[in-house]
Chain A
Amino acid sequence: MSRRRHSDENDGGQAHKRRRTSEPIEIEDRLESLICRVGEKSTSSLESNLEGLAGVLEADLPNYKNKILRILCAVARLLPEKLTVYTTLVGLLNARNYNFGGEFVEAMIRQLKETLKNNLYNEAVYLVRFLSDLVNCHVIAAPSMVAMFENFVSVTQEEDVPQVRSDWFVYVVLSCLPWVGKELYEKKDVEMDRLLSQIEGYLKRRVKTHVQMLQVWTAEKPHPQEEYLDCLWAQIQKLKKDRWQERHILRPYIAFDSVLCEALQHNLPPFTPPGHMPDAQYPMPRVVFRMFDYTDAPEGPVMPGSHSVERFVIEENLHCIIKTHWKERKTCAAQLLSYPGKNKIPLNYHIVEVIFGELFQLPTPPHIDVLYTTLLIELCKLQPGSLPQVLAQATEMLYMRLDTMNTTCIDRLINWFSHHLSNFQFRWSWDDWADCLTVDLEKPKPKFVKEVLEKSMRLSYHQRIVDIVPPTFSVLIPAEPIFIYKYLDETASTLPGYQLSITLGNAIKNRATNEEILTILKEVPNPNQEDDDDEGESFNPLKIDVFLQTLLHLAAKSFSHSFSALAKFHEILKTLADSDEGKLHTLKVIYEVWRNHPQMIAVLVDKMIRTQIVDCAAVANWLFSQDMAHEFTRLYIWEILHSTIRKMNKHVQKIQKELEEAKDKLEKQQLKRRDSGDDEDMDKNSEDEDGQLEEQIERLQEKVESAQSEQKNLFLVIFQRFIMLLTEHLVRCETGSVDISTPWYKNCVDRLQQIFLMHHVTIQQYMGTLENLLFTAELDHHILAVYQQFCALQL
């Protein structure tokens, strides 16, 4: 059976024991596997594998054409890093079967329309790039590709559309040119020149308010943080100057030129870009992350320049590899390290740069943060002689540039570095960073080291941290995470709650009931009141203080002990914290006792929100309160705030989902009844069912509205507090003629930005309220600028 023999050859000469029965499903799986794996490591050359596979597929066309079409369309969309391998394959098939080539092009156009309709803009880019490379394979006629590009660029003439829309269409055209620029210029240079000139005009008039918010560093040196379209434009300009000579992209079709140029080409059907829809979600603008240049790789191949098209292609492909293999870290690392053409570039540097670029991407990384830590560890395992050094060099460089790094990115760096160190016995040349000890400890470098040591301690223990740093660093070592008990011993006997703390402590240890505890608590005098309030219902800070301090002291041993305590006395805590002041004071006490153990504070606050002892707004108010001002620049404060906002968001989403499900259920029920029988036969049961569901829907509707109101209020509280703090600072500096740019100020502005960036999806809903109530024209322009930059992200 000739088909079997070919496929065995494609497997690199391995003979497989195969079942004799050829079930269609098996063959389809086999086709999928063959197509997906072509281009991977093999004992045969890529060309011979492609030739073989083309033969196999051609033979299978009569029976499996649709399946093959669908698989090829899928790899075009999902394996962009292997673009040219698959365009060559399609080219070979087209040369053997003109009709198939035509059907494939049609299928791709259909797929392109679908992806655009479904807001899958990143995938749509890969599809257009695939089509453009098909010009190189003589499948698509160059003039028809140029026509499609012209239609895309004409979007820049549309009025009243978001800038991100026209941005995307320009980006698609430019990003195809590394692959197909040469061919298109050879065939249609006048049209292409016109196209590029239109693009140039558009790029000049684009608004770029958003750029500052997305930059990882504020400094232009050593590498400018360029807006992505500006960078790509510069790269294409340079490519054009080099007469479209591009030598990096792997082009298997060149080897088949004699076969392919005999093929008949297809014309792309005229493609009108779909019009702008209000619910369209175009990709957000980005800033190109650069941390290395040719001076950084000491020996070996030279790193392509920042405006070289090679740089663009390499970065694109590495990002695509991560996107394809993110779930399989070993495969991902292996694929990154076996990048074709790796011998001509300092691959390790590119990989490290791309990974950090993703980790630091604003607003958010494409993947979960911890993925990058683990991926770098896998890469170190595979290249133990070279990658760790590049990583160390990168870490050193990032440390050197902390002064101008965005605070959100510094957060991520802290988390990455501490987690990374914990996998390598915390070995680091701390002495190299002794310079951080010579400056004000609030400056970025010592602050960074302090936070890294704190996180490292969380992953290990206090003594470990003492052991790993030189003695000179002791000022940066975190405090030992021990409980601070106000009523610890007789020295506290003069404090008003001392006696009661002992009584209470004994009662709890002897498993007293809630009623017994409450009776004891009734004895606590209220420092806020003149006369005795027999009910003891109103806010009594002393009561909260005594009970909470005593309880948490008894439960200080571990998280579990503390959680048990909160659960056991949930009713009492809820009663004590019943008012806004009560909630605030509860949080105050938690801070007082656990101020050496920020991790414990975070988990207790989390538990208290989830068990509704405190609410989200109380936490926000507490974090912004005067009492916490001295902690304001510490990382754990912001982790608590963002965790609080996320809980609020998840809560709203959960109820919205319940509402949707109830509505769906009702609709299904009503449809079923309508379809099945007469209205007259409708019995009372189904009427009741409907009624119950409608009641439930109404209740859920109210719940959703209430939750959304709480959510909006939370953001209003947070933004209001930021505005107050920043305005105070700006006014104070102005009257004192002092420079506003203190470390505190930079931190505060970055934190305000961070709220917008990390929760942009939710905040979009409340833009109207924010603009009317808070971010008005009267606001200081420094503060307003943050808001305006945020708005510019989706314009």
Chain B
Amino acid sequence: MSAKLSALHSDSYVEVSQYRDQHFKGNRKEQEKLLNQSNTLYVGNLSFYTTEEQVHELFSKSGDVKRIIIGLDKVKKTACGFCFVEYYARGDAEHAMRFINGTRLDDRIIRTDWDAGFKEGRQYGRGKSGGQVRDEYRQDYDPARGGYGKLAQQHPPVESRNTY
């Protein structure tokens, strides 16, 4: 009938990001396949105090949520600022990528990304101190994520020692 017009069918929010889980068991091709058919989202930049209930309320706005797995500090076994949200239907996960990604939860802009699927063990932070890697090295003070980054806590930046 008429042309498909790829120019009009842009859906950039649903595209897979550059991030690839380095611990993924399988080759790159398998990983791509799983990401492209996944119903599971990784959600990052959560406050340590954000509960499963809050995540459920927000992410239910794009469809029925199958389960939520809150990310935990490997040592402390407390929430460390990320989670997985699995939907029953991929279409609902896509809506979350389009309309919930980049909006606020607990006053923080959260970020969602496709995940190849939850496997036991993936609920733990991979940073040396037990939390997420990003909290190892960051220099800023974030009261909702344990204050200063782990490295900065041990070796406070020079400027902060000199401020009054």
Contact = CB atoms under 8 A, between A and B. Distances in A.
Interface of A: 29, 32-33, 36-37, 67, 70-71, 73-75, 77-79, 110-111, 114, 324, 327-329, 331, 368-371, 373-374, 377, 415, 419, 422-423, 425, 455, 458-461, 558-560, 563, 599-600, 603, 606, 643
Contact of A79 (B8, B57, B58): B8
Given A32-B3, A70-B1, A643-B64, 19 more contacts: A32-B6, A32-B7, A36-B5, A37-B7, A67-B3, A71-B2, A73-B3, A74-B8, A110-B1, A327-B13, A327-B14, A328-B11, A370-B62, A373-B103, A374-B100, A455-B57, A459-B105, A559-B53, A560-B70
Given A32-B3, A74-B2, A77-B2, A329 B11 contact: no
16 contacts: A32-B3, A32-B5, A32-B6, A33-B7, A37-B7, A67-B3, A74-B8, A327-B14, A370-B100, A371-B95, A459-B54, A461-B54, A559-B68, A560-B67, A560-B68, A599-B53
B61 A369 contact: yes
B12 interface: yes
A495 B141 CA distance: 53
A329 B5 contact: no
A257 to B, nearest CB: 29
Interface in B70-121: 70, 95, 98-100, 103-107
A377 B107 CA distance: 14
A279 to B, nearest CB: 20
Nearest to A646: B64
B162 interface: no
Nearest to B63: A368
Contacts of A324: 8
B52 A558 contact: yes
Contact of A70 (B2, B12, B67, B100): B2
A395 to B, nearest CB: 18
B107 A425 contact: yes
Nearest to B61: A370
Nearest to B106: A460
B10, B99, B103, B107: which has the most chain A beta carbons within 10 Å? B99
B51 interface: yes
Contact of B53 (A368, A458, A563): A458
Interface in B36-61: 51-54, 56-58, 61
B99 to A, nearest CB: 4
Nearest to A459: B57
A111 B103 contact: no
A222 B56 CA distance: 39
A100 to B, nearest CB: 16
Nearest 3 A-B pairs (CB), nearest first? Answer: A74-B2, A73-B2, A70-B3
B57 A374 contact: no
A42 to B, nearest CB: 16
Nearest to B88: A650
A557 to B, nearest CB: 10
Nearest to B66: A610
Nearest to B57: A458
A606 B64 CA distance: 10
A71 B98 CA distance: 27
B5 A368 contact: no
A37 B3 CA distance: 15
B99 A371 contact: yes
Contact of A599 (B57, B62, B70, B99): B57
Nearest to A369: B61
Given A329-B99, A425-B107, A419 B61 contact: yes
B52 to A, nearest CB: 5
Nearest to B4: A74
Nearest to B89: A650
Contacts of B67: 560, 563
A643 B4 CA distance: 35
Interface in B1-36: 1-8, 10-14
Contact of A423 (B61, B62, B103): B103
B45 to A, nearest CB: 14
Contacts of B68: 559-560
Contacts of B1: 70, 73, 110-111, 114
Nearest to B62: A370
Contacts of B106: 460
Contacts of A425: 107
Contact of A374 (B3, B14, B103): B103
B5 A603 contact: no
A74 B6 CA distance: 11
Contacts of A603: 56
Contacts of A559: 52-53, 56, 68
Given A74-B2, A111-B2, A560-B52, A329 B98 contact: yes
Contacts of A455: 57
Nearest to A377: B103
A491 B3 CA distance: 75
A558 B51 contact: yes
Given A459-B54, A559-B53, A599-B57, A328 B13 contact: yes
Given A71-B3, A371-B98, A419-B61, A78 B13 contact: no
A600 B52 CA distance: 11
Given A328-B10, A459-B58, A422 B104 contact: yes
A373 B105 CA distance: 14
Contacts of B104: 422-423
Contacts of A329: 13, 98-99
A214 B1 CA distance: 35
Contacts of A67: 3
B54 A458 contact: yes
A599 B59 CA distance: 13
B50 to A, nearest CB: 10
A95 to B, nearest CB: 23
Contacts of B12: 328
A415 B61 CA distance: 9
Contacts of A459: 54, 57-58, 105
B136 to A, nearest CB: 27
A423 B104 CA distance: 5
A371 B103 CA distance: 12
A84 B90 CA distance: 38
B53 A558 contact: yes
Contact of B95 (A114, A370, A419, A643): A370
A111 B2 CA distance: 8
Contacts of A370: 61-62, 95, 99-100
Contacts of A419: 58, 61
Contacts of A422: 104-105
A67 B3 CA distance: 8
Contacts of B103: 373-374, 377, 423
Query: Which interface residue of A599, A606, A643 has the most chain B CB atoms within 10 A?
Result: A599
Q: Which of A32, A78, A370 has the most CB of B within 10 A?
A: A370
A327 B13 CA distance: 8
Among A33, A114, A331, A559, the one with the most B-chain Cβ atoms within 10 Å of its Cβ is A559
A328 B11 CA distance: 6
Nearest to A639: B60
Contacts of B5: 32, 36, 71, 74-75, 78
Nearest to B54: A459
Nearest to A425: B107
A41 to B, nearest CB: 16
A377 B8 CA distance: 23
